[in-house]
Chains A and B, each alone.
Chain A
Amino acid sequence: SAVISQKPSRDICQRGTSLTIQCQVDSQVTMMFWYRQQPGQSLTLIATANQGSEATYESGFVIDKFPISRPNLTFSTLTVSNMSPEDSSIYLCSVTATNEKLFFGSGTQLSVL
């Protein structure tokens, strides 16, 4: 199994600022993903973090708003840029190794004022 450390666990930010969320895994994994879970809604995939190259974004999400890095097989960051109250959500890092089972970080609860 993979152990994921995600930080910060929560933050309160001002409108117009940016927040970078970190995801560290204790082992090399095949895929790393970033999800968003808005209040009362399902988990929505933001992007797949690709090692050494640009992330693959889902429809409705763009790199300028959610830049993602993955410099190696065990670490990734998601930045929420130029935040507005609509960005208030839980952001989740998840990973999968070779057996396609998803492991999740504990999430980052973001509130934008």
Chain B
Amino acid sequence: AQRVTQPEKLLSVFKGAPVELKCNYSYSGSPELFWYVQYSRQRLQLLLRHISRESIKGFTADLNKGETSFHLKKPFAQEEDSAMYYCALTGLSGTYKYIFGTGTRLKVLA
């Protein structure tokens, strides 16, 4: 079954510390993986996608097909990174259907 797992509901780190938000997936095919972010009182928005291989706001994520993971990383957390982060998967026969993880709330402490 297709599934996205985010094992941590809440992750608290101090400002300047490294951050890693975990995401594992289960998918029988070639998935496309995304990270979406929701800041307080804002709508859900795309942070990055694996095919772009880009860094957004200092965040990166590498698709590891062997470990079926797509962890989100940032070397130095900032207070404005505090938000809800969702890992998502698509690639379902071109239907553009997305499967979302349960989300991880990141709190960056001063």
Interface of B is mostly: strand
Whether A30 sits at the interface, judged by CB under 8 Å, is yes
* Residue contact A107 to B103, C-beta cutoff 8 Å: no
In the complex, chain B residues whose CB is within 8 Å of the CB of A94: 44
Known contacts A31-B96, A100-B90, A41 near B102 by CB under 8 Å = yes
Inter-chain contacts of A103 with B (CB < 8 A):
45-46
Given A41-B102, A42-B101, A104 and B43 contact (CB-CB distance below 8 Å) = yes
Nearest-neighbor residue (CB-CB) of B4 within chain A: A42
A92-B44, A101-B46, A104-B44 known; A42 and B102 CB under 8 Å? yes
Whole-angstrom CA separation of A107 from B43 in the bound complex: 8
Q: How far is the CA of A46 from the CA of B34 in the complex (A)?
A: 20
Per the CB 8 Å criterion, the residue count for chain A at the interface is 21
Q: Which B residues, 1 to 43, have Cβ-Cβ distances below 8 Å to chain A?
A: 4, 32, 34, 36, 43
Cross-chain contact B98 with A102 (CB below 8 angstroms): yes
A105–B43 CB distance below 8 A: yes
Q: Which of B43, B97, B99, B102 has the most CB of A within 10 A?
A: B43
Contact with B along A76-99 (1 / 0, CB 8 A): 000000000000000010101000
- Other than the given A48-B95, A102-B34, A103-B46, 10 more pairs (CB < 8 A) read A33-B97, A40-B102, A42-B4, A42-B101, A43-B44, A45-B99, A100-B90, A100-B96, A101-B46, A106-B43
7 pairs of A and B residues whose beta carbons are closest in the complex: A104-B44, A43-B100, A42-B102, A106-B43, A42-B100, A31-B96, A104-B43
Binding site for B on A (CB under 8 A): 30-31, 33, 40-45, 48, 92, 94, 96, 100-107
